[in-house]
Structure formats: structure tokens, C-alpha cells
Amino acid sequence: MHPTRTGTRPIPQTPAPTRTLSGITPSGSLTLGNYLGALRRFVDGQDSTSGSRDSYYFIADLHALTMPHDPQQQRELTLETAALYFAAGLDPSRCAVFVQSQVRAHVELSYLLESTAYVGELSRMIQFKEKGGRPRTRASLFTYPCLMAADILLYDTHVVPVGSDQSQHVELARDVAARFNQAYGETFVIPRFVPPASAARLGDLADPARKMSKSAPPSATGVIRMLDTPDVIARKIGKAVTDSGNEVHYDPAAKPGVSNLLDITAALVGTTPESVAEQCPSYGVLKRACTEAVVATLEPIRHRYAELVADRSSLLATLADGANQASAQADLVVRRAKHAMGLLC
Ligand code: ATP
Ligand code: MG
């Protein structure tokens, strides 16, 4: 809070509301892209201005059902993702961490929003165009932006920290919320998409034009996983495609491979890609600097992760506590929305 003065009396300023919510789908082992675009920012944002435990971070297991999956592996990935949230620094005494399917209100509000969104806007979603559009595409892949809008709107969220690939979904949540408010009266807070300051869209090291994605096959050499060992990280970065020529400078259009490595290194050491480039006279030096920065960040997380998964029952108890806290808030908003739409509640 920054008090301002008129005469001698400080006038307290109300801080801009910053209730934060975000989630990651357990559709694969988390990547460095998930860390820089999302998880690291969850950790930075876990202390909201309006009080403790006012940020909500969830594991979006319902979203994983939009694609074929193995149930046993799904459960394991959900727990792995949760343990990585805590290992990366989320503190359950400062924010609510929960599994989406354990808070029933998500599915409930999702249906109300399916009855608000239009088929035309859902068909325009890039992810649906990329992954769906076939006769055997799951219906949930078409409607899941409504579930994502529900995820956000249930918590009266102001700020949604996600990577730039998710901006279209947050935009849809805003449109649907505004349409609902106009049709049925003020019900939802209109959320804001907040892109990362750096490394908003890490490229795959083997094909930098493609986004680094956790649903890539486990054998993908261009995807750094948060649980990769230092050896594996060094090998993947060593094999990263670079560009013709041998000069290190930052130019994402002309030098996408080198620029991707510069983005990664800069985001991890807290500087600009241009200044990393100045300190790296060759591709080899850049790859070594990048490896060092990635290993220095991920190694402590990997060790904490090993401790956390060793105590599965305490992990499950922490998640159950987070789900209770989230439900208390989400149930209020569902009731508000049901009442506004004319449902008995
Ligand atoms: P999938 O392949 O299953 O879609 P994903 O790696 O794209 O997996 P999501 O669950 O879709 O991950 O997204 C989780 C969060 O990670 C989102 O905030 C998203 O913007 C961010 N994110 C995903 N990939 C990257 C990336 N390459 N660079 C920066 N942020 C990313
Ligand atoms: Mg994705």
C-alpha cells in the first residue's frame, strides 16, 4: 500500500485487487516452458495484496480428459504435477492449491457457461482447430474453453498469469462473463490476462518454431522436463538446433534457435536476452551458459520433489485441504450464477 499525503494526513489507497488464479493440465510431465510461463509466476504471485490464501492454483485434471489417456497414468501425473507445484515453492499456508475435479463447482458452472457461449466463438479456438475438428474428437475438447472460463470466474479472479498461448482462452472468459453480466445482471468479475514479462512462449529446442509442450512424446529431445537430470538437460541443450552463421545475437525472426536459448537463459538469470548474447562469443558458450542456468534452477526443485512424493498421504491431505478452501469460495459464485439465470437454489 502506498499512502499519499494531503496536508499532513496520509490517505490510505486501496490496492488494486489482484486475486490470482491459474492452473496447468496434467497431460504430460511439466516442462521448462510450463515453469517459466506459469509455475514460477504462481510462486511469485502467491501473496496477494488482499490477504493470505487469496490466490488459487489448481491441477486441471478435468481438462486432461479432452484427449485419450490412461487412467492410472492420469492419477500419477496429477500427483506429480501437484508435488511439482509445492517443490517449486507454492506454500499451502499462503495460497490454495487443489485438484480441479475435487471441487464440484467447476463442472457445474461450466454447464451454465456452455449455455452462455456461442458455437461460433468456440469453433474459432486455436487449440480446437489444432487438436480437434474430426468426427471422433471428444465433445469436451470443443466445450473446454467454457470449463476454463468457469475455472477463472468461480474465484472472482482479477489476474490470470498464463503463457501467451492461453490469451485467446482468457479473452473468451472475459467475453462470456461480460455477456452473462449483461443478460442476467452483474455476477462475475471480468478477469485480466497477464503475460509473462519474459519467455512468454518457449520454443521446442529441436524445432523452435513449435511451442515446447508437455504433451510431446517422452522421447522428444527438444522438450526440457522439470524432472530431467542434469545429464539429460545438458544433452538436450547440446543438441538444440542453432542457426546458420556463428554469431550470437538476439533476433527471434532470423535466428529462432539461438534466440530461444537466449530467452531461456535470460529469463532464468534475470537479465535481457541481448545482454546474455553480449557475454557469449560462440554457440558453444551460449549452450553451456544455458545448461548451467537451467540446472541451477531445476536441481533444487527436483530434490524437493523427491522428498514430497515420498510422503504421498501428506500430499493428498494438503490437496484435500486446498479443495475445501476452494469449494467454500466457488460454491458462493455458483449460487450467485444459478440465481441470476433463474435456477432454483
Ligand atoms: P499441452 O501440450 O498438454 O497443451 P502445455 O505444455 O501447452 O501442454 P498447458 O497445460 O496447456 O501446457 O499450459 C499450462 C501453462 O503453461 C499455461 O499458462 C501456458 O501458457 C504455459 N505454457 C505452456 N507451454 C509454454 C511455453 N512453451 N512457454 C511458456 N509458457 C508455456
Ligand atoms: Mg497447451
pLDDT the model gives residue 50: 53
pLDDT the model gives residue 345: 87
What's the gap in Å between 188 CA and the centre of ligand 1?
26
The burial class, CB within 10 Å (0-12 / 13-18 / 19+), for 127 is middle
162 and 33 assigned to the same domain = yes
- pLDDT tens sequence across 320-333: 999 999 999 999 99
| Protein residue with its CA nearest to atom 23 in ligand 1 | 34
61 and 177 assigned to the same domain = yes
Q: How far apart are CA 260 and CA 174, in angstroms?
A: 31
How many domains, the chain? 2
Residue 24 CB–ligand 1 contact under 6 Å: yes
Q: What share of the chain is helix, strand, coil (3-state, %, to 5)?
A: 55, 10, 35
pLDDT the model gives residue 15: 57
211 and 323 assigned to the same domain = no
Residues of the chain with pLDDT under 70: 1-16, 48-53
159 and 212 assigned to the same domain = no
298 and 315 assigned to the same domain = no
CATH classification of the domain holding 171: 3.40.50.620
pTM: 0.92
- pLDDT tens sequence across 214-246: 999 999 999 999 999 999 999 999 999 998 888
Q: How far apart are CA 154 and CA 167, in angstroms?
A: 18
First-to-last CA distance in the chain? 39
51 and 167 assigned to the same domain = yes
Report helix, strand or coil for 88: helix
Q: Is 239 a catalytic residue?
A: no
Let me know: does 124 contact 83? Beta carbons within 8 Å.
Answer: no
Strands (E), the chain: 4-6, 9-11, 20-24, 55-59, 96-99, 159-161, 192-194, 203-204, 207-211
